[in-house]
Amino acid sequence: MANSKRAASTPTAKGSKPATETSTLNPLLAAWIGPYEIPPFGEIKHEHFRPAFDTALARHEEEIASIAGSKAKPTFANTIEALELAGKLLSRVGGVFWNRSGAHTDDKIQAIEREMAPRMAAHRNAITSNTELFARIADLHRRRETLKLTAEQARVLERTYRSFVRAGAKLDTAKKARMGEIKQRLAVLGTAFAQNVLADERSYELPLPTKADRAGLPDFLVSAAAGAAKERGSKASHVITLSRSLIEPFLTLSERRDLREQAWKAWIKRGENGGDTDNWKIVAETLALRDEQAKLLGFKTYAAFKLDDTMARTPAAVMKLLDKVWKRARAKALVERDMLQRQAAKEGSNIAIEPWDWRHYAEKVRHAEFAIDEAEIKPYLALDNVLAAAFATAERLFGLRFCEVHGLQLLHPDVRAFEVMDAKGKHVGLFLGDYFARPSKRSGAWMSAYRSQQRLGGDIRPIINNTCNFAKAPDGQPTLLSFDDARTLFHEFGHALHGLLSNVKYPSLAGTAVSRDFVELPSQLYEHWLTQPALLEEFALHHETGEPMPRTLLDKIKAAATFNQGFATTEFLASAIVDMDFHATPTGGDPKTREAETLARIGLPREIVMRHRTPHFAHAFSGDGYSAGYYSYMWSAVLDADAFAAFQETGDIFNPKVADRLRKYVYAAGGSRDEREAYTGFRGRLPTVDGLLKVRGLDKAA
């Protein structure tokens, strides 16, 4: 997942002066003079955040007032560039805090988060509602053809103007006030939603005290369960938590059907357990407020509003894609279900396949069909080796080199730092990897930035962070990844490269500042290299013997590449369609009922559940980043299947000419080009859905 709106969007200038006379007492406000100008994590205390936000917000307000109140005629420099340079201190403070709140939170941090979310929403709304400021932007926009702007400057002006209009800058006073109230309330609701999900995840554990409880679990999972128990200070010797890297292998490999059912039900019930952490009322209010927001701006639905600024453009275009893939995916999923049912019967189990059985029997069918299982693959996927493979891919494609840096004070002892250099040894940026699950970290995986690239005001180099939730091995043992975990690492690293390779002048265009249905292209495309035999033969080494993964196993992995894709695509699409239905149709009614009605309408098989059920659908409800936008993973999948084919067509998956185009038009361009123009610049044309269907084995589905 790409960096959220909470990630730092504007870097701090090298050699910047202390913000206030008290800067020496507050490390968030002082100049950061350590290695790579990283935040001084070891010095930052809880009590520093509130005063730092107070100072940074006041500073930004002064900067905005100066721009808006200028008596000089609006120019690109005194208005747009001034806006681009404003708010550095706030971005710096916010970048540290929001990364901390997602990856290493506690009660004090969550209290500050609840306070700051609506304050930040009000602050942003005050800027976009500033009549004098918007008048200057609008004046420049009207005269844009006469300003002799570069292509990048024209893009910044257009996006700035558009962002103000979409935020309500053209509304009358009363409607602006109501828009501000809506945004502040949505910020409160989104924060509460995320904290409720985390609370449910932190409070649950499934103890496995006996060998009988651990029946079927391979050594790596037993070790991970022991590590999770130790991390949580549990009374049990082994526990399964709701971290995806623990619960999915447990549901896959455990022979205890009763325990699989318990764990699965806890997993899908996050956010709907009643009491203070139940999210259904939050969802209902969020949907109503979003609908009102869209109508204030002149759109029929919230989905129409959100999609107006994307590649898809309209809900109809999204649903056309989702419907086409859904029919094929559902048909294949039903075939897969029947295979699982036959496998259970073959073993003498007189059961009807339930959702907590799917992964378990799918693994058995995979073993029977392809003579392959997760326990056979995992010893070859040590975390360090998979990370080395991701680095090597970046070197072969883009000439980047990664050198681990030790001795830095970072957010958490588990975080690792790597200096990134180009082929000539020039510093590109700093990459941070935070890979292990812990109770203080929200679930999922994401990329964020402590500092983004820009050339306005100097050559500012990025500090990019990847956060994952892999189950950490006990001390002295290597952490072994599932193939899905390894794919997640490559996915998030693709996002990281989008930030590291960014080569733009203006910070608002840097890195992942692209439309939501384009932002997943660099990440999903990068996943393709993980599955290539040339890479696996070199880096998939047995953690004990050092022997490379046998070619026979590689062939099995390739042969099984489309296995269970009916299930995987269907569970994803169920979430994407529910998200779209929520936001593309009139609001009202109980969202739990609406979720059920949508799933009944599309015919979701009883044995499959949405990948993210609504009460814990953080993509859609812990903020607005992927609201009416979860489809974007599928939209980008159409792009990435076609993009990787550009390499395959040359016979060289590291073809330098194709890689150069990919870097220029996708990874380095940020938001400096229209996304359709960017993709066409790389590929020469826009793609069709056919490549995606082929990659997922759905091209022959009924």
Three-state secondary-structure class, residue 610: coil
What's the start-to-end Cα distance of the chain, in Å? 31
Distance CA 380, CA 543 (A): 6
Distance CA 530, CA 528 (A): 5
User: β-pairing, 463-470 with 427-436?
Assistant: parallel
DSSP, residue by residue, 488-555: HHHHHHHHHHHHHS---SSGGGSTT-S-HHHHTHHHHHHHHHHT-HHHHHHH-B-TTT-PBPPHHHHH
Catalytic-residue membership of 492: yes
Which residue has tokens 């098989």? 605
Which residue has tokens 């560039």? 81
Which residue has tokens 């029929």? 300
Do 699 and 690 form a contact (C-beta atoms < 8 A)? yes
DSSP, residue by residue, 552-601: HHHHHHHHTTTTTHHHHHHHHHHHHHHHHHHHHS---S-HHHHHHHHHHH
What does the DSSP 8-state code read for residue 698? Answer: -
The single residue of 37, 152, 374, 492 carrying the catalytic annotation is 492
Distance CA 460, CA 8 (A): 13
Distance CA 425, CA 331 (A): 52
Q: What angle do CA 448, 451, 453 make, to 5 degrees?
A: 105
Instruction: Provide the residue type at 676 as one letter.
Output: R
Distance CA 44, CA 55 (A): 16
- 499 class by beta-carbon count within 10 Å (0-12 exposed, 13-18 middle, 19+ buried): buried
What is the number of other CB atoms lying within 10 angstroms of the CB of residue 663?
A: 18
Distance CA 464, CA 448 (A): 6
Encoding tokens for residue 238? Answer: 């082994």
Do 317 and 217 form a contact (C-beta atoms < 8 A)? no
Cα distances (Å, whole numbers) of residue 198 to 102, 117, 482: 10, 17, 23
Do 513 and 8 form a contact (C-beta atoms < 8 A)? no
Sign for the CA dihedral angle at 27, 458, 514, 423 comes to: negative
Which residues partner with 470 through β-bridges? 436
Alpha helix segments (H runs only) across 297-382:
302-307, 315-346, 355-370, 374-377
Say which residues have a Cβ less than 8 Å from residue 366's Cβ, sequence separation at least 6. 372, 373, 560, 563, 564
Enzyme catalytic residues:
492
